[in-house]
Amino acid sequence: MEERKILDSWKEIAGYLNRSVMTCHRWEEELGLPIHRLDGTPKARVFAYSDELDRWLAEKLHAAEAPRQERRKRTKWIWMAAGAIIVVAALAALGWRFILEKPIPAPAEVPSLAVLPFENRTGDGTWDGWKTALPDLITIDIRQSKFMDVIKTSNLFRAVGPLVEAEKFSPEDLKEVAEKAEVGYALTGSFNKSGEDIIINALLQNARTGEVMATPRSRCRTENDIFSKVDEMSKEVKIALNLKPREIRHDIDKPVARITTSSPEAFKLFSQGYRIQGKRKIDEAISPLQKAVELDPKFGLAYRVLFIVCRNASRSEDTKKYGKMAFRLADRIEERERGFFLADFYLHEQIDKKKAIQVFQRLRKGYPYDPAMTGLAEFYSDQEEWDKAIPILEKLISRYKQRPDFINNLSVCYQAMGLYDKAEKLLDDYLSTNPDLGTDMIPILLPRWSLALAQNKFDEAHSYIDRLISAFPNLPAYLGRKGYIYFMQDDFSNAEKEYQKLVEKEDTRTPMGGFGHLAEVSLSRGKIEEAKQRILRAIELAKSLKDGNSERNFHYFLAYLHRISGLLPEALKEAEQACRDSEMEGVGLVRELHLRALITLEMNRFEEFEKQVEEIKMFLDPDRFPRGSPRLMRVYYHLLGHRELQKNNLDLAIRYFWKALDLLSVLYAQEFDADHAKYFYDLAEAYRRSGSFSGAFSMYRKVVLPTVSRELSGDLYAKSYYQMGLEWERTMGNMGTPVDTRNRRLKAIECYRKFLDLWKDADPIFPEVEDAKKRLAHLEAELEIQSRPIVPSGPGLGASYLPSFRPASILTKKAPSFGVSWYPMMR
């Protein structure tokens, strides 16, 4: 006989019936559940037989089946009625939510707050960590808000300095914090002991006037209570700063423990590491942050900071690891920080620009004043979509009026759009209100210097760079920029003197740059062999420094010099070396790949050229590479134009060159596409070969504009004057009057003189030099030029026939004349 199964406790009985112990007690009393007791008394130990329970359960279910059917019919109608009521209620709620309570957009202005350290008055050193950890926790909690702007601790360090970690804050200290951090309010306070409890006394003040706005107070029994008390304190701060009830109701306000950690020790370690990285001590920050995530493996914000710190420390494997962890735990990061992390992650790790822009756009609606919005502005600038970057930066500057980096970025965008008056006013207003800039003068004076150069205001340019040299005499880069002013004035003698100062410096890196600049001068003078020797010296120094990026640039330059010398195999070798030496990939290599393709085409290796062109086209795809841009397709069309030019399909070549120029609405010198003179010169050559000399002449004029950088295209600059001289000669008899003919002779003479002045010492490989000498002598003899001197009109052509300086406009076939802006490549 099979042994009966015995259940010998209420717990086992309840488990067998899949009910709670309380339910089993009730069933025994009300329904006669078969329970046995060892001695028959109510307090005795209970037991039950499983087979009895099975029979009891079956009987009860059978007995309940009939009335249950009836009940089902009744409840069906009850549920249908209830469902209708719920639907009506839901529709009413939605109507109230979306009609009466529409989502509130971010207001035009929001109160700004800095949360400063608290004072530990408990006498207990174990609370010292909360002096800075508590402000960080409050900052993180309130930064969720769309209706307040709370400055991050790291930004406080950069704006104010060591003062932000003072033990106490006087009214003067708060004013200094408010002025430097550009905030209106400050929150600080202290810890005090009351019996076994800790009392947190906070003080919210108008930082500029000292007016007390609120004094939130909380009582904590243990450190674990701090998280819920911070949630309460944040609401009090919002109320004190006059946020409307509707704004508070619609605001984002998750519990701070949810968006950080519930572990006090983990948060204190996080705060320690976060503040260390805010002071730019990157390597020291990693250890406490790692300990924080060991204590709480779901601490998403700590992983997010580790991701940034490891990337800045060039620890690629850790960057990937912590980035993936932060991405997985992104819902545990506060709203604003999560958004900026995801935008960064999509842009640089997953290479998904569409998702990155979508995240940025959502952030822009909720947090338009956050300094991290510069990430979106920089993205648009990289894409050369200056008109989209400008409103973002203007919004930031309306909030942060004293941030020189924002001023710099916006001035660059204005210049790139040809809005020179706006750029000048922006920079000059900042200089007038901040006469003692210190190191902040660098991001202001450099764009002001470039703006003066673009406007041919050379004296102004010298004054700005002299100011930088005076303030930073040990930074030789400014000597190079002083030399560049002379270079743009075609004063090669003084340019070489300044560049020679770089070569004579005792360190290795500065002379390397000096030789590069001297080679640029040699190129502009047509002294190609001299330029090669100077570049070879620069390559040697770059190798000794193991500076792969500089070595790549110099190999590129040497490849170009070999190409214009007609040494195509040597040129191709150097171009390939430039590609191999590069630590960059994708669009960062476009300049080198572009030159390599041109050399391959000139060697008539058409099949190889086509493969190289398709490779470049792939790199320009914005969906595949972070810096890819539809505007960079100009590189692709430029190469197709050269292909048709090589095949003598001139009309098609001109169309392709125009397609490239259509994408060149501005001239902002990107490292991967800085030699913009080539776009004008090559189209001019196609026009000239097709017999359209007027079209050629209009493009040659573009090459010599002061807004076009010619560091690596000085030969095109000089040759353009020669070609314009030929054009004036060709049209001397077309106007029909002796006066017109004479004027055109004079202009041709001036062009040839300018060309020969630039290339009077050029290498003999250029036949243009001897031809220009013969033509000039013939024209001067015809006019007896010695008795009728020509009045020079400065370093360029006469104002009567050079295009006037004006803002940039989009280049089209119907409107082929336009001005361009230039911003020098920083080295």
Q: Tell me: pLDDT of 58 over 80.
A: no
Q: Decide if 545 contacts 509 (C-beta within 8 A).
A: yes
245 shares its domain with 216: yes
User: pLDDT value at position 100?
Assistant: 44
Rounded to an integer, the average pLDDT of 84-99 is 52
Q: How confident is the model at residue 411 (pLDDT cuts 50, 70, 90)?
A: very high
- Residue 422 in any domain: the answer is no
Distances (CA, A) of 459 to 452, 465, 467, 481, 802: 8, 10, 12, 13, 21
User: pLDDT value at position 35?
Assistant: 84
Q: How confident is the model at residue 786 (pLDDT cuts 50, 70, 90)?
A: very low
Q: Decide if 680 contacts 657 (C-beta within 8 A).
A: no
Measuring CA to CA, which residue among 187, 190, 200 is closest to residue 238?
187
User: pLDDT value at position 735?
Assistant: 59
Q: How confident is the model at residue 352 (pLDDT cuts 50, 70, 90)?
A: confident
Rounded to an integer, the average pLDDT of 541-551 is 90
Measuring CA to CA, which residue among 666, 665, 614 is closest to residue 639?
614
Written as one string, the DSSP assignment of 334-384 is -HHHHHHHHHHHHHHTS--HHHHHHHHHHHHHH-TT-GGGHHHHHHHHHTT
% of the chain beyond a pLDDT of 70: 84
- Residue 161 in any domain: the answer is yes
User: What mean pLDDT value characterizes the chain?
Assistant: 84
% of the chain beyond a pLDDT of 90: 53
241 shares its domain with 324: no
Q: Decide if 483 contacts 472 (C-beta within 8 A).
A: no
Rounded to whole angstroms, how far apart are CA atoms 631 and 662?
A: 9
Query: Around Cβ 436, how many Cβ atoms within 10 Å?
Result: 6
Residue-wise burial string across 654-671, b where 16 or more C-beta atoms lie within 10 A, e elsewhere:
bbbbbbbbbbbbbbbbbe
Q: How confident is the model at residue 711 (pLDDT cuts 50, 70, 90)?
A: confident
User: pLDDT value at position 742?
Assistant: 85
Tokens of 461: 């340019």
Q: Decide if 205 contacts 184 (C-beta within 8 A).
A: no
Rounded to whole angstroms, how far apart are CA atoms 450 and 442?
A: 12
Number of domains in the chain: 6
Angle subtended at Cα 691 by Cα 689 and Cα 695, rounded to the nearest 5 degrees: 95
Q: Tell me: pLDDT of 801 over 60.
A: no
Among 28-37, 377-386, 782-791, name the one with the lowest average pLDDT.
782-791
Rounded to whole angstroms, how far apart are CA atoms 519 and 523?
A: 6
98 shares its domain with 206: no
Tokens of 604: 């008539």
Query: Around Cβ 453, how many Cβ atoms within 10 Å?
Result: 25
- Residue 403 in any domain: the answer is no
C-beta contacts of 431-438 below 8 A and 24+ residues apart: 434/402, 437/404
What is the dihedral sign for C-alpha 644, 650, 655, 661? positive
pLDDT digit string (tens) for 329-351?
Answer: 999 999 999 999 999 998 888 77
333 shares its domain with 371: yes
Q: Decide if 381 contacts 413 (C-beta within 8 A).
A: yes
Measuring CA to CA, which residue among 108, 136, 145, 113 is closest to residue 213?
113
Written as one string, the DSSP assignment of 528-595 is HHHHHHHHHHHHHHHHHHT-HHHHHHHHHHHHHHHHHTT-HHHHHHHHHHHHHH-S--GGGGHHHHHH
23 shares its domain with 159: no
CATH number of the domain within which 44 lies = 1.10.10.10
Give the SS3 label for residue 66: helix
Rounded to an integer, the average pLDDT of 161-168 is 86
Measuring CA to CA, which residue among 626, 663, 619, 631 is closest to residue 354?
626
CATH number of the domain within which 337 lies = 1.25.40.10
What is the dihedral sign for C-alpha 434, 436, 437, 442? positive
User: pTM value?
Assistant: 0.76
Rounded to whole angstroms, how far apart are CA atoms 549 and 615?
A: 21
Residues 6+ apart with CB under 8 A from 12: none
Among 92-101, 465-474, 495-504, 678-687, name the one with the lowest average pLDDT.
92-101
Quote the domain boundaries for residue 634.
Answer: 586-654
125 shares its domain with 254: yes
User: pLDDT value at position 334?
Assistant: 93
What is the dihedral sign for C-alpha 533, 538, 544, 547? negative
User: pLDDT value at position 161?
Assistant: 85
CATH number of the domain within which 174 lies = 3.40.50.10070
C-alpha 619: how far from chain center? 19
234 shares its domain with 121: yes
- Of 233, 259, 285, the residue that ends a domain is 259
298 shares its domain with 231: no
Rounded to whole angstroms, how far apart are CA atoms 480 and 206?
A: 47
User: pLDDT value at position 585?
Assistant: 65
Rounded to whole angstroms, how far apart are CA atoms 248 and 254?
A: 12
Question: Helices 386-399 and 374-382 meet at what angle, rounded to 10?
Answer: 160
Q: Decide if 583 contacts 548 (C-beta within 8 A).
A: yes
Residues 6+ apart with CB under 8 A from 425: none
User: pLDDT value at position 700?
Assistant: 95
215 shares its domain with 274: no
Among 46-50, 135-139, 217-221, 241-245, name the one with the lowest average pLDDT.
46-50
Give the SS3 label for residue 689: helix
User: pLDDT value at position 680?
Assistant: 94
Length of the chain: 827
Q: How confident is the model at residue 817 (pLDDT cuts 50, 70, 90)?
A: very low
- Residue 479 in any domain: the answer is no
Question: Helices 590-602 and 548-564 meet at what angle, rounded to 10?
Answer: 30
Among 126-140, 154-168, 505-519, 730-744, name the one with the lowest average pLDDT.
730-744
User: pLDDT value at position 629?
Assistant: 79
- Residue 308 in any domain: the answer is yes
Higher pLDDT, 24 or 747: 747
Beta bridge partners of 118: 189
Tokens of 665: 């609405």
pLDDT digit string (tens) for 250-294?
Answer: 889 999 999 999 999 999 999 999 999 888 888 899 999 999 999
- Of 383, 406, 439, the residue that ends a domain is 383
- Residue 445 in any domain: the answer is no
Highest mean pLDDT among 238-252, 662-676, 808-822: 238-252
Q: Tell me: pLDDT of 684 over 60.
A: yes
255 shares its domain with 282: no
Rounded to an integer, the average pLDDT of 519-545 is 96
Highest mean pLDDT among 373-377, 444-448, 529-533: 529-533
- Tokens 């300095």 correspond to what residue? 161
pLDDT digit string (tens) for 618-630?
Answer: 888 877 776 677 8
Q: Tell me: pLDDT of 67 over 90.
A: no
pLDDT digit string (tens) for 353-365?
Answer: 888 899 999 999 8
Q: How confident is the model at residue 397 (pLDDT cuts 50, 70, 90)?
A: very high
Measuring CA to CA, which residue among 783, 773, 731 is closest to residue 752?
773
39 shares its domain with 97: yes
- Residue 367 in any domain: the answer is yes
Q: Tell me: pLDDT of 816 over 90.
A: no
Beta bridge partners of 752: none
Higher pLDDT, 206 or 783: 206
Residues 6+ apart with CB under 8 A from 673: 590, 591, 594, 632, 634, 635
User: pLDDT value at position 72?
Assistant: 58
Residue-wise burial string across 61-71, b where 16 or more C-beta atoms lie within 10 A, e elsewhere:
eeeeeeeeeee
240 shares its domain with 137: yes
Rounded to whole angstroms, how far apart are CA atoms 727 and 692?
A: 10
Rounded to whole angstroms, how far apart are CA atoms 759 and 765?
A: 12
Measuring CA to CA, which residue among 358, 325, 359 is closest to residue 342?
359
Rounded to whole angstroms, how far apart are CA atoms 558 and 577?
A: 10
- Of 383, 412, 439, the residue that ends a domain is 383
- Residue 451 in any domain: the answer is no
User: pLDDT value at position 265?
Assistant: 95
User: pLDDT value at position 557?
Assistant: 95
